[in-house]
Amino acid sequence: MFQSEADIGCPYCGEHLTVLIDPSEPEQEYIEDCQVCCRPIVLRVTTDPETDEPLVMAFHENDA
Instruction: Please tell me the distance from the alpha carbon of residue 1 to that of residue 22, in angstroms, as a whole number.
Output: 8
Instruction: Please tell me the distance from the alpha carbon of residue 10 to that of residue 3, in angstroms, as a whole number.
Output: 20
As averages over each run of 10 residues, the pLDDT of the chain (64 residues) reads 86 95 86 96 92 90 76
What percent helix, strand, coil does the chain show, rounded to 5?
0, 50, 50
What pLDDT does 1 receive? 56
Q: The dihedral of CA 34, 38, 41, 45: what is its sign?
A: positive
